[in-house]
Structure 1
Amino acid sequence: MEEIYNIINQSPAIVFIWKNDMGWPVEYVSENVESVFGYTPEEFLSGAVSYADVIHPDDMERILRDLAVYAEKQQEKRIEQEYRIIAKDGNVVWLDHRTLILRDDHGKIVRYQGVVLDMTERKRMQEKLEEKERKISAILQAAPTGIGVAVNRLFTEVNQRFCDMVGYSEQELLGQDARMLYFSDEEYEAIGCKQRESFYNGAMMTTESRLRHKSGKTVNIFASWKLLEKDDVSAAIIFNALDITELKETEKKHLQSEYRFRSMMESMSDLVYICSADFRVEYMNPAMIKRTGRDATGEFCYQAIHDLSHRCPWCTVTPEKHETYFESNVDSPKDDRSYHVSHSPIVNDDGSVSRMVVLRDTTRFKKMEEQLSQAQKMESIGNLAGGVAHDFNNILTVINGYAQMLQMGLEKDNKMYSDVEQIIKAGDRAATLTRQLLAFSRKQMIMPRTVDINQLITDMKKMLERLIPEDIRLTTLLDENVDSIFADPSQLEQVILNLVVNARDAVNEQSSSMEKVIIISTSKIFLDHDYVATHKETCPGWYLQLQVDDNGCGMPPAILEHIFEPFYTSKNVGQGTGMGLATVYGIVKQNQGSIYVYSEPGQGSTFKIYWPLKNEGDKEKKQVKNNLPIGGNEVILLVEDDEALREITGRQLRQVGYTVIEAVNGKAALKEAAARRPGTIDLLFTDVVMPVMGGRELAASIQDVHPGIAILFASGYPDDRIRQDIVELGKDRFISKPYNIKDLLLRIRSLLDARQV
């Protein structure tokens, strides 16, 4: 027994026996009690200190409550408790107390027998460990990434961030297989294989993956897995997952944006490049690379784009104005083409500013603008020329009329006869000039019919050969497949004649010893949209191409720019009127055609006329032979707003026997007609363009008063609508100013006789 006591007294455990009485008086305590409690065994055994006296007051209630619970359970004999005591020196000591309950024969607790161990240090270490765990837990819960632990791929611990990422609560995840977060068994097994491979190689696994959210949506993660116990694959695995869903979406949008940008740049026909603040090329789209012949990234933009050795003179970029947008129109010396250039600033991530420069080729549009400007100028000149011709025709008709009347009253041997003849000839020359002006302004009266252009050129060839010297060879190359065209033959002859005369003069001026040649050719050609796009005045379709080539002196651009303007000539004074090519231009335009000239100094010239092909029937009417009497006794209503012209025409008609009623305009003419019995006026001779009421309206109204009246129109400047009306009536119903008195009398006699028939 003594040996047992020695073992107890020398062990760290302290043995107590105390009665179940007030204060728990101690009946026995081992000698080592002082090492923990600070009290000697005698102090406990003498009753100076009871066991209840040393228990910490904050723990007493819990101890009593536990004892009461055990007391009610008769079968319970042992109690294990942890509580604090206050040692003699005042220090608090934590105890691990194992108590044996001793009962009497009636089951009443009579005493307690306990073994006490000082666990203060262990408790302190446990508190430190718990504090550390609390800190770690706080860190894990506050971490921006999802963190957890899995054993055999079953979740044993997860932080709140991971729960938020996958949409499950901690309770829903713990103990569950990670398979619940994968979309398929294949994805789940693939991650497992990667983990095992990495762990067997002693490495931490890091990869991008995706998880299935509780709602079913995809959660993209960047995750790492690591063994908690090195080399123990069966041990717990700690994982760390970063939610990169938004990052992936941003990356996707960035890639889409970059793809759209590159697709747009690569599909653009415009030339695009990006340059840095120091004018270095940073990017070129394929169109720009094709133009420069290389990818000039890193080179100075002004060198690569425009072949300049210094900054572009039109560039307004400065350090102060580098972030401004501006536009410019540029003629690049690299390819001699015109561009509209837009400069847009691009702010980079580092704050530096680059510039995106877009060059749109406007060469074609610039040429079209020049063509439009030229066409508008020619139209303005044409309107002016037509107006002048209209007024001048009235004057010429008066001059020629009086001259003709004077000549008719003279004998041929009279000295004055030849003088008057010269006046008439001068008037005829002036009339020819006004007809040319009308042709240029497209106001000339035309009587179109179906024309075989090849036959017309063949018929003209002998006449044309007489116009050119013998040392010039005239060749015709006529396509047999050319369709007939709808045109006024006299106008076509005028066009061909003027072009051949122009070519003759050009060939005569060339000083080389080569053979002098003029070629007239015809062909059938289809003008497509590509051609029309660069030739503003042309429409798509089938055309007759009438071409006149010469190997003469050619023309510089300065002359080509004005070649179709009336009265413009490069010939010496007295050698040309300047109306030949202007007349050609007007006739072609009047017939909805187009004309282009190609020429260079010393290389000859080529004139190409595109005349619309039409399948029109022969609209020409047979003319009445002019072997008719020129006078009569019928009544003629003469309507003319020009007083001098009206007076001379009336005198001429009266002189040959006609009764003439004069009116100043259509309204006055209707008044005169209404004052006379129906059928008493045989012919209406009226000007087309007059104030108050014009000739066409008058002609329509007068037939209500005088049915069957013959009508003859006259004008020096009919507009498009009137010309069409006259054409429908027939050319015998119209006479152009200035008219010859003999032609007028023949036309009137023809209409009156046809009316009688």
Structure 2
Amino acid sequence: QVGDPILVVNNSLETIYLNVKAEEFFLQKDQKSPLGTPIEFLLEIDWKNGESFRLITEQLQPGSFWKAERFVRKKHGELVPFELTFQAILAETQEKIGYSLILHDLEEKYHSEKVAKRAQLIVENSELVLFRVNPFHNYEIEYISDNISRYGYDAQELIRKRSSFLELLHPDDARRIRASKLTPEEGKIVRSFSGEYRIMTQEGSAIWVEDRTTDVIDESGQIIMHEGLFQDISDRKNLELIQKQRDDQYRMLASNIPDTNIFLMNRERRYIVAEGNNFEKWGLSREDFEGKSLLEIQLAPYHDISDQVDRVFNNQEIVESEFFFKGRFYQQTIRPIIQEGEVNYALSIIRDIHEEYRAKQDLLQSEEKYRRLVEDSTEIIFSLTETFILNFVSPNVKQFLDYDADEV
């Protein structure tokens, strides 16, 4: 019932017993009985420094044992790590009558260690820094991965000195964390902190990082440690700063275009930017739009505007329309904002065209009146160029002269 292979040999190191596990590990299917076979012939071991069973027996003192990790070849041919324990068997008279060999399979252990080393190598070559701190003792560092060297620190030195994790932070960020999580008395609950802060390098530079920390809880449910990871997000912060500067410029530009409002909408049909100078006419503000969905607020009838936005996102169309709101006419143009071949945003430009619309309507009405005046006139109306070329004649020329106006 023992899970490890066991062999017993006599003083001549000839095999006199194998348990079932040893037979499974080391005997071929049709191999004859190994009893009487010298153990050196039965087991192929990757010895170190000229070792052998005979040399070990010569050095083995009564009552002691020899233990070491060595690779042993299994019956299928592969070398597998085992922990070997070799011990003398004594008779009642304390006479040495043989030896026992127990082989403890370390294959799973070695595999786990290999995976762990590989994972450690991946971590140490990545931007992710792992750490474990004691929140009850000023966030002393219990562990931090070696790649903290990216910031100019030596991991082992930080652990040995039991440095406070807060000492690595920008003073303003350290004060902020201390203010929100003052070190309590032993046994009080201190929840882990996750967020963004600045790590100070040994050279004094501040680098923005993002932190993800969780609580380590003991068997009684008490928080005993915080452990987590952080990574450099400087590029993202710089991009956010550039984007903010662009947004500010964009907002300033949009707010100074006469009688115009600009809206930016994402794929979820949610306003993320609303700017312009028509809000006062509408009795609204940009806060009424930003963060809200199209369903929650819109200027034109929802079904009309929803259909137009769908055409922009689905067909990459530029959609133009006009609508009437709060006693005035507006023109709306919705354009797709395409990134990497996909429409990620819709840009809506709404322009107050009320005066222009009224002027156009007045002009159309004047043209209609003029057309009717000409058509109803009993006189032929015409115009000539400076060289007396006829360039217009009223349609009623047909009535009086039987010529089409175009023909004339």
- Using the size of structure 1 for normalisation, the TM-score is 0.30
- Structure number having the greater strand percentage: 2
2:333 to 223, 233, 257: 223
SS of residue in 2 equivalent to 1:78? coil
Match of 2:355 in 1: 246
CA deviations 1:434-492 (Å, max 9, x no partner) are xxxxxxxxxxxxxxxxxxxxxxxxxxxxxxxxxxxxxxxxxxxxxxxxxxxxxxxxxxx
Match of 2:323 in 1: 210
Q: Does 1:14 align with 2:130?
A: yes
Q: Which has more radius of gyration? A: 1
Q: Does 1:30 align with 2:150?
A: no
Distance 1:5 1:30, change over 3 A: farther
Q: How many residues align?
A: 286
Does the 8 Å CA contact 2:312/2:334 hold for their aligned counterparts? no
Does the 8 Å CA contact 2:323/2:331 hold for their aligned counterparts? yes
Distance 1:201 1:146, change over 3 A: closer
Distance across 1 between alignment mates of 2:206 and 2:212: 19
Distance 1:285 1:146, change over 3 A: same
RMSD of Structure 2 on Structure 1 (CA): 5.1
Distance 1:207 1:297, change over 3 A: same
Distance 1:74 1:273, change over 3 A: farther
Q: Does 1:175 align with 2:284?
A: no
Distance across 1 between alignment mates of 2:252 and 2:184: 38
Distance 1:89 1:182, change over 3 A: closer
1:258 to 357, 367, 382: 367
Distance across 2 between alignment mates of 1:230 and 1:118: 26
Distance 1:209 1:57, change over 3 A: same
Distance 1:218 1:151, change over 3 A: farther
Q: Which amino acid aligns with 2:317?
A: M
Q: Does 1:273 align with 2:354?
A: no
Does the 8 Å CA contact 1:9/1:30 hold for their aligned counterparts? no
Does the 8 Å CA contact 1:209/1:220 hold for their aligned counterparts? yes
Distance 1:254 1:72, change over 3 A: farther
Distance across 2 between alignment mates of 1:130 and 1:73: 44
- Using the size of structure 2 for normalisation, the TM-score is 0.51
1:284 to 383, 393, 397: 393
Match of 1:679 in 2: none
Match of 1:159 in 2: 274
Distance across 1 between alignment mates of 2:216 and 2:407: 98
Shift of 1:38: 0.7
Distance across 2 between alignment mates of 1:78 and 1:63: 10
Match of 2:191 in 1: 77
Distance across 2 between alignment mates of 1:208 and 1:124: 38
Distance 1:73 1:18, change over 3 A: closer
Distance across 2 between alignment mates of 1:220 and 1:242: 6
SS of residue in 1 equivalent to 2:265? strand
Distance 1:72 1:246, change over 3 A: farther
Distance 1:118 1:207, change over 3 A: closer
SS of residue in 2 equivalent to 1:96? strand
Does the 8 Å CA contact 2:332/2:351 hold for their aligned counterparts? yes
Structure 2: runs of 5+ lacking an equivalent: 1-108
SS of residue in 1 equivalent to 2:315? coil
Distance 1:164 1:80, change over 3 A: same
Does the 8 Å CA contact 1:195/1:225 hold for their aligned counterparts? no
Does the 8 Å CA contact 2:209/2:232 hold for their aligned counterparts? yes
Q: Which amino acid aligns with 1:202?
A: N
Shift of 1:87: 0.9
Does the 8 Å CA contact 2:329/2:354 hold for their aligned counterparts? yes
CA deviations 1:550-583 (Å, max 9, x no partner) are xxxxxxxxxxxxxxxxxxxxxxxxxxxxxxxxxx
Does the 8 Å CA contact 2:189/2:223 hold for their aligned counterparts? no
Aligned ranges for residues 584-733 of structure 1 at < 5 Å?
none
Does the 8 Å CA contact 2:208/2:237 hold for their aligned counterparts? yes
- Structure number having the greater helix percentage: 1
Shift of 1:28: 4.1
SS of residue in 1 equivalent to 2:182? helix
Q: Which amino acid aligns with 1:81?
A: G
Does the 8 Å CA contact 1:102/1:109 hold for their aligned counterparts? yes
Q: Which amino acid aligns with 1:280?
A: I
- Percent identity over the alignment is 18
Distance 1:239 1:70, change over 3 A: farther
Does the 8 Å CA contact 2:395/2:405 hold for their aligned counterparts? no
Distance across 2 between alignment mates of 1:179 and 1:27: 53
Q: Which amino acid aligns with 2:144?
A: V
Distance across 2 between alignment mates of 1:58 and 1:111: 24
Does the 8 Å CA contact 1:19/1:26 hold for their aligned counterparts? no
